[in-house]
Structure 1
Amino acid sequence: MREFIPPAARFIDLPAEFAMRRGGRLTGARIAYETFGRLTPERDNAVLILTGLSPDAHAASHPADTDPGWWEAMVGPGKPVDTDRWYVICLNSLGSCKGSTGPASLDPSTGEPYGPGFPDLSMEDIADAAAHTVRALGVDRAACVIGTSMGGMSSLSLLARHPDLARSHINICGAASALPFSIAIRSLQREAIRCDPQWNQGRYDDVNYPRRGMFTARKLGMMTYRSALEWDDRFGRARIAPEDRTDDDPFGHEFQVEGYLERHARRFAHRFDPNSYLCLSRCMDRFDLGESCGGSTDEALSRIRLEKALVIGVETDILFPLRQQQQIADGLAAGGTDVEFLAMDSPEGHDAFLIDTVRFGTPVSKFLTTL
């Protein structure tokens, strides 16, 4: 079990005894974050970014860490999330392995990693930890909360549980609850990890590590992050050249799409803790904003009070399909929020916001300039 902490990450301590929604407490927990730009004396220009399952807090390059960030094309001076104007705070989610306390972190009561003993994580816990962090940074009310993918879920939870924390919201490829197809895919991902003998009930190390389980989980994920249209256009039925084959297995990788999935899986498998993957994945499956707020999903969305919101979905997204973003937009509008809804015609599927930044950048930039 290892953590993968960006070199410029900074930390905010959570309350000494951080109570988890489903029981249990964390002692000595922390949240990793990075900031971009400057906070005004009035403290009114903060933009909070909540990420998907796997990114860290390093959204973009800056003097303390010049490596490109996971949203490099979107965050920075003169970019759609313009750090010449905005003070951007990007958080690593509670339960992750990128600096915030999670299963790979040391349990102060034992001196060993939490591993499978990490308390049952919920999206509400992630939201509460984010709210505490923002306030600890001196921001009482953010100008905007931006949530992408899983971050779209945690953003809605944050806005519902901390109603005065933000004036506006950008929800990109998010959802107010998990759908059966997404739950099924994530269930298979978790099964692949847990069925790897090296997982050892969550007690693995760098030598005995569930590589094959993580490879399979990541490949399943990649198949849902992109679209069949992109696979067709990018790979067709192109085969791997014989000299590039890595083994003589007659059932081994033959097509270029297989090689692509294998390369991505190998890069990811040793950059993310398997137990964190399990915790965050299950946390997404269990999230239902309506259940969390004691009513229906539409009612819960209508109770969120914002000045403005931009909700963006992608027509080719099969993991968080477009109707989920439409539900968010309709629900927020029912509560009086001035909402703009955009259905992007992008071939890249769920990951389009990471790839098709030219298409996404314009509406995000336009929305933020109106605040």
Structure 2
Amino acid sequence: MTEFTPPGSRFLALSSPFRMKRGGALREAHIAYETWGTLDGGGGNAILIVTGLSPDAHAASNPANPAPGWWEPMLGPGKPIDTDRWFVVCVNSLGSCKGSTGPASIDPATGQRYRLSFPELSIEDIANAAIETVRALGIDQLACVIGNSMGGMTALALLLQHPGIARTHINISGSAQALPFSIAIRSLQREAIRLDPQWNGGDYDDEHYPESGMRMARKLGVITYRSALEWDGRFGRVRLDSDQSDDDPFGLEFQVESYLEGHARRFVRHFDPNCYLYLGRAMDWFDMAEYGNGDVIAGLAKIHVPRVRVIGANTDILFPVQQQQQIADGLRAGGAEAEFIGLDSPQGHDAFLVDYARFGPAIGNFLRSL
């Protein structure tokens, strides 16, 4: 069983014990992170990026790792997040398998992998670990915290728990609580993994690995990351060539099926199944209404940040734009100058990872105005 830390990652030891919101604590835990640009003398030009469920800290190429990152067109000299001006920190989430401590890590108390003995993980824990990293780098206040997808949740938890930590915020395809549709999808993903006999109650290794469960979980996710409009425009009803089709009478027949299969197979051995379970459940548990006596807007209004831009894709079915509008409304109720932008991108939830023509200006123009 492997952790997938990208080359060039740096590590920050968390406070020990690092206490978790829902009980339990981690000892000798750490966070993987990467940086770009130069921190100015007052430390006032720092930007923190908190990510979605699966990315590592390698958002873009840098001297320690010249390989392209998952947000390469967005981050670098002269790009929307301009590292000639900004000092940028990207952290790998607590609970992940890409450098930070998570269920696939070694428990120092036993010398064995945590697996399901890892404490219950919350978005608030992920946020607190990110802030420990920022402060260890000598940053008292961020110029901006940027969160996308799950990172949008993390950013809200971070701003709530650490008042004054950031002067501005960009929330991209995020949400203040998980909706029933999203919970249902992630529930099916977890079930697919847990029903794979190779999962074995979380006790698997590289030789005995729940590949079928992870394949199905990833396919379910990918279907929701894009829009019906894109699936239709990209694949239509085109069938595979005869030499590509599956001999199984109920096997792969359409190009969209082949795409999902290829995408899933590239993913399954590069993300730990137990980490997938923990992070997905953390998203389902997150609810800003918890901080507002059952009201999401009231919970969001307890966050005080001067300027905010909330961005979403109008075709997103996983975190629909109504949720981004809700974030803007709630933060405005807390006194923020908050703006919502719904972009007509056909790519759905993943648009911020691919539609740079729309998302680049929406992010870059905001940062240039600071």
The answer to whether the superposition gives a TM-score over 0.5 is yes
2: CA distance, partners of 1:177 / 1:236: 33
CA positional deviation for 1:233: 0.2
Counterpart amino acid of residue 57 in structure 1:
A
2:48 aligned partner: 48
Runs of 4+ displaced beyond 6 Å: none
Does residue 285 of structure 1 match 2:280?
A: no
**Unaligned regions of 5+ residues in structure 1, if any?**
none
Give the SS at the match of 1:244: coil
1:185 aligned partner: 185
1:80 aligned partner: 80
User: TM-score normalized by structure 1?
Assistant: 0.99
2: CA distance, partners of 1:5 / 1:367: 32
1:344 aligned partner: 343
Does residue 118 of structure 1 match 2:148?
A: no
Give the SS at the match of 1:107: coil
1: CA distance, partners of 2:206 / 2:158: 35
CA positional deviation for 1:256: 0.2
| Residues 293-302 or 18-27, more deviating | 293-302
Counterpart amino acid of residue 224 in structure 1:
T
Indicate the percent of aligned positions where both proteins have the same amino acid.
65
Counterpart amino acid of residue 20 in structure 1:
M
Give the SS at the match of 1:170: strand
Instruction: After superposition, give the CA deviation of every residue in 1:86-138 in whole Å (9 maximum; x if it has no partner).
Output: 00000000000000000000000111110111100001101111111110111
1:143 aligned partner: 143
| Residues 290-299 or 310-319, more deviating | 290-299
User: TM-score normalized by structure 2?
Assistant: 0.99
Instruction: After superposition, give the CA deviation of every residue in 1:297-334 in whole Å (9 maximum; x if it has no partner).
Output: 11121121111100001110000011100000001111
Counterpart amino acid of residue 39 in structure 1:
L
1: CA distance, partners of 2:82 / 2:299: 31
1:212 aligned partner: 212
CA positional deviation for 1:59: 0.2
CA positional deviation for 1:290: 2.2
2: CA distance, partners of 1:2 / 1:115: 12
CA positional deviation for 1:2: 1.7
1: CA distance, partners of 2:362 / 2:184: 32
CA positional deviation for 1:16: 1.2
1:320 aligned partner: 319
**Superposed CA RMSD:** 0.8
Give the SS at the match of 1:169: strand
Give the SS at the match of 1:106: coil
Q: Determine if contact 2:291/2:298 at 8 Å carries over to the other structure.
A: no
**Unaligned regions of 5+ residues in structure 2, if any?**
none
1: CA distance, partners of 2:361 / 2:317: 24
CA shift in 2, pair 1:48/1:121, >3 Å: same
CA positional deviation for 1:289: 1.5
Instruction: After superposition, give the CA deviation of every residue in 1:331-371 in whole Å (9 maximum; x if it has no partner).
Output: 11111111121011010000000000111000111100111
Give matches, 1:24-103, under 5 Å: 24-103=24-103
Q: Determine if contact 2:176/2:296 at 8 Å carries over to the other structure.
A: yes
1: CA distance, partners of 2:139 / 2:42: 10
Counterpart amino acid of residue 365 in structure 2:
K
2:132 aligned partner: 132
Instruction: After superposition, give the CA deviation of every residue in 1:274-294 in whole Å (9 maximum; x if it has no partner).
Output: 000000000000100121465
Q: Determine if contact 2:227/2:317 at 8 Å carries over to the other structure.
A: yes
CA positional deviation for 1:241: 0.6
1:235 aligned partner: 235
CA positional deviation for 1:190: 0.2
CA positional deviation for 1:21: 0.7
Q: Determine if contact 2:37/2:86 at 8 Å carries over to the other structure.
A: yes
Does residue 266 of structure 1 match 2:265?
A: yes
2:20 aligned partner: 20
Q: How many residues align?
A: 370
Q: Determine if contact 2:292/2:299 at 8 Å carries over to the other structure.
A: yes
CA positional deviation for 1:143: 0.1
2:200 aligned partner: 200
